[in-house]
Amino acid sequence: MRACVPLIVAMLCSLAWAEDPNEPEPFLELEEETEAPSSHLYSAPSSCRDRCQEAFDRHQPCHCDARCPEFGNCCKDFESLCGHEGFSYSSDAITKEELQSISEKIYRADTNKAQKEDVIINSQNRISPSETRDQVDCCPEPLFTYVNEKLFSKPTYAAFINLLNNYQRATGRGEHFSAQQLAEQDAFLREVMKTAVMKELYAFLHHQNRYSSEQEFVSDLKNMWFGLYSRGNGEEDSSGFEHVFSGEVKKGKVTGFHNWIRFYMQEKEGLVDYYSHIYDGPWDSYPDVLAMQFNWDGYYKEVGSAFIGSSPEFEFALYSLCFIARPGKVCQLSLGGYPLAIQTYTWDKSTYGNGKKYIATAYVVSSTQ
């Protein structure tokens, strides 16, 4: 194993990226979901059934992505199966510039975020991407030196925290929500929808013909984030919310777990041991971004990217925006003048409604320094 050595040089990355020099530089982020079987293993390749909004795949005989009407290569049942969602017409396509504009509005609207004095982190040693598999604890101190827990009494924080103990992290063990837990999901959605952040997001998506009413929007958020599906053994053992915000363990590895509040609370209880980081974002105020390595009660996370100091509604809004606008693709945003990209993945083995996909995962994949 390599020794822990702080790095002061720019981080190197082995991932391929767009040639545009204005694109944010990616940092390594590994997610087991990237290996999930593609939806065309579960549906006829000549049909759009269970394929609406899927990423373009040149090997398919016909297509169901948002731009197939523009190129004239849609499957014959595209309009009947996908057109009603309003997501798939080129006239309704959301541009990169529109994504950057709405993400800046969401960034400015996050009045519930932590102030600089509310959260103090100690990022300590930085390693290279080539060292992330070594599982060496390079940081003797906790990541969080101080958090003003008065933040957690704010309605959206409190509603978010109430959800975190509703899951068992091991995949393959079915989740069963009590009436109280279902009520907590509704309470969280109700509280976030009161915020300027989510009002900005809904207004944007409504204008883009994605949703005709706020009720429709909230119903879809509940399904895509809290709807249960199976990651193992056929049990309904997972959801987008559990994976992204609470974290899971599958095949001896941590998957998901992309939330700073969850990390802080688990670290405070002695269940998380912060090892190192490979990236620290350019923002001089919150929210910031950190890509880190850690041990979660005996299980290792090779690279876990997370916003730091953001409100729950801010993360929920950005991930939802990217999943709706760029499902299964890199979503290029702008926060405080800095580019940032988020990757989402759809869960393709099962659907809800008329072929809509659940969120498999969502996380920050790149920014710039």
Instruction: Please write the tens of the pLDDT for every residue from 244-259.
Output: 999 999 999 999 999 9
Instruction: Please write the tens of the pLDDT for every residue from 320-369.
Output: 999 999 998 899 999 999 999 999 999 988 999 888 999 999 999 976 54
% residues pLDDT > 90 (the chain): 69
84 is annotated as an active-site residue: no
Q: Can you tell me which residue has the tokens 């199976």?
A: 230
Catalytic one of 243, 250, 277, 357:
243
Nearest alpha carbon to residue 65 among 38, 42, 88, 91: 88
Sign of the C-alpha dihedral, residues 263, 266, 268, 272? negative
Q: Which two tokens stand for residue 342?
A: 């988020």
258 is annotated as an active-site residue: yes
Host H or E run for residue 331? strand 330-335
What is the reported pTM? 0.82
Q: Does the pLDDT of residue 86 top 60, yes or no?
A: no
243 is annotated as an active-site residue: yes
CA–CA distance, 50 with 55 (Å, rounded to integer): 12
CA–CA distance, 139 with 290 (Å, rounded to integer): 15
> Do 259 and 345 contact (CB within 8 A), yes or no?
no
DSSP 105-135: HHHHH-TTSPPTTTEEE----B--GGGGGG-
In single-letter form, the type of residue at position 320 comes to S
Q: Which two tokens stand for residue 180?
A: 């109280």
Nearest alpha carbon to residue 294 among 269, 270, 277, 306: 277
Catalytic one of 301, 329, 356, 357:
301
Catalytic one of 40, 250, 258, 357:
258
How high is the pLDDT of residue 134?
Answer: 96
In single-letter form, the type of residue at position 115 comes to Q
Instruction: Please write the tens of the pLDDT for every residue from 169-220.
Output: 999 898 999 999 999 999 999 999 999 999 999 999 999 999 999 999 999 9
CA–CA distance, 26 with 341 (Å, rounded to integer): 8
How high is the pLDDT of residue 367?
Answer: 65
